[in-house]
Amino acid sequence: MVVSTAILLIVGGVCAAAPLFKRVSKGLEKLLVIVGLAVGVAVIIVTIDLALGLGILSSIFGIGFAPGPSLNNSYLQYYLVVMAVLGILLFSRPLRNVRWASLMALGVGILVAAYLHTAFSVSSTTILGVVFIITILIVYTLLRFVEDILEFIGTVLAFPPVAIAVGLVSVYFGIITYGS
């Protein structure tokens, strides 16, 4: 029995269906979004482990994470796709409005300027400033494109009807996985 994957799918599905609980309680919805972030990270880790066939989690925890070859339901072969979409939905929902491209560009710019100062003994603030600005512009331009794509995907997945559908499908797959 694959209890851990089933539980992740069921808990993640309930967290993904948080817009259903909006009318009941705003606090419950926010709690589900916060818990969903942690569950989303766990789902992404398990999905990567299963998709690549690494077996790292199975060796650490000593329990199976993937349904066996005797699939009772023909739709159960798509559980990795459901887990990947669920993980992206849960992870991107609370982090959708964070501007991480600018933060990463600032960090890389500081690191490059510090490396240049340490490794090559450059002490001119003008040269360090120019290198800092050029590095920030290059890194920000590249990462902003990726951030826009991820923001679009997160916006589509966080749309309440889509999130509810993904949540209910995940709960369904979790119940089927638990039953097999």
Quick one: pLDDT band at residue 67, thresholds 50, 70, 90? low
Quick one: pLDDT at residue 48?
A: 87
Amino acid 95: pLDDT: 81
User: Nearest CA to 90 among 11, 2, 175?
Assistant: 11
In this structure, are residues 33 and 93 in contact, taking their beta carbons and an 8 Å threshold? yes
Task: Give the angle subtended at the CA of 63 by the CAs of 58 and 67, to the nearest 5°.
Answer: 90
**If you average pLDDT over residues 162-166, what whole number do you get?**
94
- Across 157-168, b (16+ Cβ under 10 Å) vs e yields bbeeebbbebbe
pLDDT in tens, 83-140: 999 999 998 888 877 888 999 999 999 999 999 999 999 889 999 999 999 999 999 9
- pLDDT-based confidence at residue 1 (cuts at 50, 70, 90): very low
- Average model confidence (pLDDT) across the chain: 86
Q: How confident is the model at residue 3 (pLDDT cuts 50, 70, 90)?
A: low
For residue 65, what pLDDT is reported?
59
Euclidean distance between CA atoms 42 and 13, whole angstroms: 13
**How crowded is residue 90: how many other Cβ atoms within 10 Å of its Cβ?**
33
Say how many C-beta atoms besides its own lie within 10 A of residue 138's C-beta: 14
| Pair 157, 166: CB distance under 8 Å | yes
Domains in the chain: boundaries: 3-96+150-179
The mean per-residue pLDDT over the stretch 19-35 comes to 86
What percent of the chain clears pLDDT 70, i.e. is strictly above it?
89
Chain centroid, CA 149 distance in Å: 14
137-160 average pLDDT score: 91
Q: How far apart are CA 72 and CA 173, in angstroms?
A: 12
Determine the average pLDDT of the residues in 141-165: 91
Q: Are residues 158 and 88 in contact, defined by beta-carbon separation less than 8 angstroms?
A: no
**pLDDT score, position 140:** 96
